[in-house]
Amino acid sequence: MKVYKPSFFKYHIRYFHSLNLAKALKFSGLLNLKNKKLKVLDIGCGTGELTLEVKKFLPNSIITACDIDSISLNKFKPNAQKQGITLKQVDAQALPFINNSFDFVTMFDVLEHVKDPDKVIDEIKRVLARGGIFHLVVPCEGDLMTIDGWLKLVFSLNLKKKPIGHIQQFTRSDILKILKKNDFTLLRTTHSYYFIYQFTSFIYYLLVNLLNGGKYIGLIANNTEAGNRKKIQPLIKVGGWLAYIETVLFHSIPGQTLHITVKKNN
């Protein structure tokens, strides 16, 4: 069988998102149906990095990508049009799709941003066809296997709430309970991002909150940007490689990010 590889470099923050997406498709059997016109929904697509990965792995699929943020959708629009991906601005808590209309639903790093996670999962169950597959990626920042979990427990502190809108801090158990309550069958779980990644993230968000009033500062510089941000790119790559190595070594034990694939029963 052809090996499906992520489009991202191994040190990229989205590498394991794409890698585990491909593994979930293979494990669930959807990869065997890649030549069929599967109906796919990507919720919270942002600028489309991972939606395009779905299209790469399932080239004949009919993909709808949605997000509540119009700015992100407009950035994604040119690439979406080239790939025949339909874009919609929607609230994940009230999906404007008919019941049982999608074969495969994905949601990457979205659930931690919403006010009513149970409603979002209930909506996904509603629009997913019987026997359909749901692949979810969510940070478990309430777990005591994470630095964020200890900050929450000891100091009642959430360093990511203001900079990037993480209003929920789930445990792995929280996610499993929500999915079980909605009668999903667990197919596969794995994890990513361990101590090095978490410690680097902790230092960054601590400084952002202390020195920049909680306002997010992008660290990845593009070709038009100069100065300090470009100077730290080599350090970011080194950190990315270290995060990659530790995730390869420890992915079978709980880490910060949970990659979970489930099947709708009825």
| pLDDT tens digit sequence for 126-148 | 999 999 999 999 999 999 999 99
| pLDDT tens digit sequence for 96-123 | 999 999 999 999 999 999 999 999 999 9
Amino acid at 6: P
Ordered DSSP codes for the chain: -PPP--SS-TTSTTHHHHHHHHHHHHHHTGGGGTTS--EEEEES-TTSHHHHHHHHHSTT-EEEEEES-HHHHHHHHHHHHHHT-EEEE--TTS--S-TT-EEEEEEES-GGG-S-HHHHHHHHHHHEEEEEEEEEEEE-TTSTTSHHHHHHHHH---TTHHHH-------HHHHHHHHHHTTEEEEEEEEE--HHHHHHHHHHHHHHHHHSTT--------TT--THHHHTHHHHHHHHHHHHHHHHHHTTS--SEEEEEEEE--
Q: What is the pLDDT of residue 218?
A: 78
| Domain assignment of residue 225, yes or no | no
| pLDDT tens digit sequence for 26-38 | 999 998 888 889 9
Q: What is the pLDDT of residue 223?
A: 47
Q: What is the pLDDT of residue 225?
A: 46
Q: What is the pLDDT of residue 226?
A: 46
If one counts the domains in the chain, the total is 1
Identify the domain containing residue 163 by its residue range: 15-194+250-264
Q: What is the pLDDT of residue 229?
A: 58
CATH number assigned to the domain comprising residue 178: 3.40.50.150
| Domain assignment of residue 245, yes or no | no
Mean of the per-residue pLDDT values of the chain: 93
Give percent of the chain with pLDDT exceeding 70. 94
| pLDDT tens digit sequence for 212-239 | 999 998 766 454 444 555 667 888 899 9
| Domain assignment of residue 123, yes or no | yes
| Domain assignment of residue 156, yes or no | yes
pTM: 0.93
**8 Å CB contact between 52 and 63:** no
Please determine, for residue 150, whether its predicted confidence score (pLDDT) is greater than 70: yes
Q: What is the pLDDT of residue 97?
A: 97
| Domain assignment of residue 119, yes or no | yes
- Which tokens sit at 90? 């929607």
Q: What is the pLDDT of residue 233?
A: 81
Please determine, for residue 189, whether its predicted confidence score (pLDDT) is greater than 90: yes
